[in-house]
Structures are given as structure tokens and as C-alpha cells.
Structure 1
Amino acid sequence: MYETIQWPEELKPSRSPIHFTNELEVSASVETIWSLLTDFKSWPAFYPGVQHVQSLDGGENFGLGTRFETNLAGQDVFATVQEFEPMTRIAWGGYPKVSKISKAYHAWIITPTARGCHLWTEETMQGPHWLELAKQAPDVFWLTHEKLLGNLAEIATARERSRG
């Protein structure tokens, strides 16, 4: 999957001490998944720990170059959408407010399947702040993304069932 993610050179998996992937088959359409991932208001419903997402550029949805602020992994974070291929791929890079030198890059790849879609999410993290959090709870980031995928799948399938 690496070749489909446009990693910033400094945040490539081979250069990052924290790197993890999660994936899940979902019985929901690519369109439904995409609509949830790109809508600021929907994130608190499925993204563990997220209480708000605010565009720093105005607007209600993500797009290439969108700058936003949120609270991820218990941290207030600034990020910018760096990859944006509708219905296929989205990625953002950013840093926690408390440590600009602690960077992260989070990518999503959505692939249609016969029964819905396959979700692949991959993240790299580096810098003292993220490393300290990882020392305190080594699996916290991976486990949070497992929950994220499960929540996203549940909400997406429920949304499609309700449209009936």
C-alpha cells in the first residue's frame, strides 16, 4: 500500500519510530464512507476522543489544503489535508499544539469491493511528544484506530440501512 500514499519525505514509514496500519472490510458504499470522513460535523460520532473539528479556512467539508484544528489522541492538533482524491484517498499531516516538532501523517485509502469497501488507514508519528505517549501506552494509537474503523463501519452501515 505504500506506493499509493504520497508520504512527505520526512514522515515516510522507514523514517518514523511510530508507524501502524489498520484495515477493515465494510458493508457500506465508498460514497457513504467518504461522506463521513470528509464532513467535519460527523467526526465526533465515530472518531474516538474527538469532540470537535473546526476548519481554519471556513467551509464544512475537507478538501485539498484544508487547514483544521481538532483533538486527536487526547491532544489539541493542527493539521492540513495533504492528499485528496475523492472517493479514493485522503490524508492529513499535522502536529499537537504543545509540540510543533512532534509530527504525524494519517492516510486513508478506500477501495470498492463486491460487498461495500475496504478501508486502509496508515499513520506515522515522530517527535518527543508522540514518543512519550507511546511509552506510556504502547498500543494506544493502534487500538484507537481499530475502534475508529469499527465505529465508522457501524455508522456507515446504519446510515445506509436507514435510507433503505
Structure 2
Amino acid sequence: MKTINWPSMFLPGTTDNFVSNEKIVTGVTVEQLWEKLVDSSQWESYYDNADHIELLDHAGSRLAFGD
């Protein structure tokens, strides 16, 4: 967690809830990884705790700028 520059108001241990998930991936480009991250329909394929994702105010499954 030392590599994350946390804003002081969100420091781990100072908020009501804190969750961190890390995954080391190899053999993919940043572009390929980004496509999986911004498309919520793919989240279940690599994160078991993601299920039945619905984005509010979205017609599709892709995150938009500012989400």
C-alpha cells in the first residue's frame, strides 16, 4: 500500500470502509487490460466477487469518463 498516494481524507484506517484488491497480470498490454477494466460486463471473468453489475445512467456496460 506504500505505492499509493492516498489523499489524507481517505487514508486506510481513517474511513468507515476500506477495501483493496490487487492482481498481477502478465502477457497483456496496457490497452488490453484497460478494456477489461472499463467494461463492467467483463469483471466477473477475473473477479469472483463481481456479480450482476448494473451501471446507473448507462445504456451499456462501459464506464464513461468521470465514472
Could you state the TM-score of these two structures normalised by the residue count of structure 1?
A: 0.31
Q: CA deviation at 1:20?
A: 4.9
Return 5+ residue gaps in structure 2 as ranges.
none
Q: Which has the larger radius of gyration?
A: 1
- Indicate the larger mover: 42-51 or 14-23: 14-23
Q: CA deviation at 1:65?
A: 3.0
Query: Which structure's residues are more often helix, by fraction?
Result: 1
Q: Which runs of 4+ in 1 moved over 6 A?
A: none
Return 5+ residue gaps in structure 1 as ranges.
67-164
Could you state the TM-score of these two structures normalised by the residue count of structure 2?
A: 0.64
Q: Which structure ranks higher in relative contact order (CA pairs < 8 Å, sequence separation ≥ 6)?
A: 1
Q: How many residues align?
A: 63
Query: Which structure's residues are more often strand, by fraction?
Result: 1
Q: Distance in 2 between matches of 1:32 and 1:57?
A: 25
Q: Distance in 1 between matches of 2:11 and 2:39?
A: 27
- What is the percent sequence identity of the aligned residues? 24
Q: CA deviation at 1:30?
A: 0.6
Q: CA deviation at 1:63?
A: 2.5
1:70-127 deviation per Cα after TM superposition (whole angstroms, max 9, x unaligned): xxxxxxxxxxxxxxxxxxxxxxxxxxxxxxxxxxxxxxxxxxxxxxxxxxxxxxxxxx
The RMSD of aligned alpha carbons is: 2.7
- The alignment partner of 1:31 has SS state of helix
Aligned to 1:48: 48
Aligned to 1:32: 32
